[in-house]
């Protein structure tokens, strides 16, 4: 196995960090690596906010499901889906007049543009994670940044055509974190199909989660499906995330409809 594949296969989420900063050279190297990630049409539909203010980190630790380790992470990066930069450039380049000459109204971002920008941001985030891993720096994704859209939008001064799709904490892992057992993954046959999607039958579904029935992950009952439904899928944070994302999409598309109806100037 080559070195890169070894890093990927040994990577685990790290939530406890040594009491030392991530050097500026390493931070810049991680961000530069993220900026070399694949991107749709080379548009780079993302932005990266480095959270250096300790008060903001503390607020994020509270707003993202009360996880204190976020405030203790030496490096915190928020990855935004970002179409605002291009819209600003279109306006600065007088695209509305161009469109008017063609008898059209300048198009503003829709749902598809948001999804594409989310893809760009997530690809950049994962590239940053692997770059950090190569430097001996651990990481942990925080999906809770998608919750409480209105609060995070105000906290981070986010314009309309942006969305915080993920946040990643980085730091040098403690010895305990380095030695923590790797979590299991589903068998490849349950994930990897050829030419078309294949639904799993009941037996295959049970085989898929069987390793997890032997862990404390599922509690006393040993029923993975019920456990995940109650603890993840139908939990309060899942309902809030759905509400928050729905509001973000509504804000994004409502602004587009409003501007289109008034013929962007």
Tally the domains of the chain. Answer: 1
Query: In 3D, which of 157, 140, 154 has the Cα closest to residue 63?
Result: 154
CA separation (Å) from 235 to 68, 116, 231, 241?
A: 20, 28, 6, 10
- Structural domain includes residue 188: no
Tell me, what CATH number does 89's domain have?
3.40.109.10
How far is the C-alpha of 132 from the C-alpha of 130, rounded, in Å? Answer: 5
pLDDT at position 257, please? 59
- Structural domain includes residue 244: no
- Structural domain includes residue 133: yes
pLDDT at position 220, please? 55
Per-residue pLDDT tens over the stretch 222-237: 688 888 898 899 999 9
Q: What are phi and psi of 193, to 5 degrees?
A: -115, 165
- Structural domain includes residue 30: yes
pTM of full prediction above 0.85: yes
Tokens of 2: 């080559």
Residues of the chain with pLDDT under 70: 213-222, 255-265
- Structural domain includes residue 161: yes
- Structural domain includes residue 206: no
pLDDT at position 264, please? 46
* Helix or strand holding residue 165 (H, E): strand 162-171
The number of residues in the chain equals 265
Tokens of 111: 């749902």
DSSP states of 233-259: ITSHHHHHHHHHHHHHHHHHHHHHHHH
Per-residue pLDDT tens over the stretch 151-162: 999 999 999 999
- Structural domain includes residue 97: yes
Neighbours of 52 (CB within 10 A): 10
DSSP states of 174-211: PHHHHHSPPPP---GGGT--SSS-----HHHHHHHHGG
- Structural domain includes residue 245: no
pLDDT at position 223, please? 84
pLDDT at position 234, please? 94
């Amino acid at each position: 196995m080559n070195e890169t594949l070894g890093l990927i296969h040994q990577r685990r989420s790290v939530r406890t960090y040594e009491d030392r900063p991530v050097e500026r050279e390493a931070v810049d190297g991680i961000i530069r690596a993220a900026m070399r990630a694949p991107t749709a049409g080379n548009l780079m539909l993302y932005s990266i906010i480095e959270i250096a203010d300790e008060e903001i980190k503390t607020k994020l630790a509270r707003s993202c499901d009360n996880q204190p380790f976020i405030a203790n992470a030496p490096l915190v990066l928020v990855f935004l889906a970002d179409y605002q930069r291009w819209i600003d450039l279109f306006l600065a380049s007088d695209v509305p007049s161009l469109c008017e000459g063609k008898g059209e109204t300048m198009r503003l971002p829709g749902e598809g543009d948001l999804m594409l920008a989310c893809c760009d941001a997530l690809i950049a985030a994962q590239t940053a994670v692997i770059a950090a891993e190569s430097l001996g720096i651990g990481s942990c994704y925080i999906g809770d940044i998608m919750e409480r859209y209105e609060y995070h939008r105000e906290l981070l001064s986010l314009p309309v055509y942006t969305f915080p799709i993920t946040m990643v904490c980085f730091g040098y892992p403690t010895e305990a974190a380095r030695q923590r057992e790797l979590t299991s993954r589903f068998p490849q046959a349950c994930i990897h199909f050829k030419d078309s999607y294949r639904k799993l039958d009941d037996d295959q579904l049970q085989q898929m989660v069987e390793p997890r029935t032997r862990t404390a992950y599922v509690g006393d009952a040993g029923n993975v499906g019920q456990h995940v439904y109650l603890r993840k899928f139908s939990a309060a944070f899942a309902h809030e995330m759905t509400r928050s994302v729905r509001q973000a999409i509504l804000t994004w598309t409502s602004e587009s409809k409003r501007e289109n109806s008034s013929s962007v100037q």
